[in-house]
Amino acid sequence: MNTLSPLKPYKWRVQDGWAELIDRYPWEWFVTLTFTDAIHPEAALKSMYVWLSILNRELFGRRWYKKIPYGVYFVAAIEYQKRGVIHLHLLIAGVKDTRRLTYMDTWAGMGNKNGYARIEATESNMAASRYLSKYVTKDGEIFLSENLPDVTAGLTRLWSEPTTTGSLPASDTPQD
């Protein structure tokens, strides 16, 4: 008897698909942004966007949003913790040799319930991509920057045939 949820194989395929997409980018930083107290997800994202704007201003100048390539690009995930406080994980590209400690301090100094920031150089693109993609199946959310380059050409199709019924393909249906 199969004790797994009937959607378990589907969740793994969704996570694998996201990881495959995210892995196609040359990520430079793996970032964790925390908050000291409970904060609404929209307020958390606003703090993240302000922090990214500060980073972009330093790298690309005051009017960075009007210049190609329109700043750094990123993938961000919201993680909902058991204690009720969220934190954000990001993969960022386009930072070049920017000093990470500066932006760790910037985050902590911004206020708005900001906690600490951890910024690490991305050592394994696939490991970081898999880590971020798991939040799709853990009631989290993933956000893509608007300037993310298109790298979808040649991606493996998740389904052998498009389905309009909403059911899983026969190959993903749990077997007893």
- How far CA 47 is from CA of 38, 44, 50, 115, in Å, comes to 14, 5, 5, 11
For the entire predicted model, the pTM comes to 0.77
**Domain 26-147 CATH (choose: 3.40.50.150, 1.10.10.60, 3.40.1550.10, 3.30.70.1910):** 3.30.70.1910
Nearest to 120 by CA among 100, 93, 135: 100
Residue 49's pLDDT is 94
Helices 125-133 and 8-22, interaxial angle, to 10°? 140
Q: Which DSSP category does 89 fall into? A: E
State the sign of the Cα–Cα–Cα–Cα dihedral 130, 136, 137, 139. Answer: positive
Residue 163's pLDDT is 44
- 64-98 pLDDT per residue, tens: 877 776 889 999 999 888 888 899 999 999 998 99
Mean pLDDT of 50-74: 87
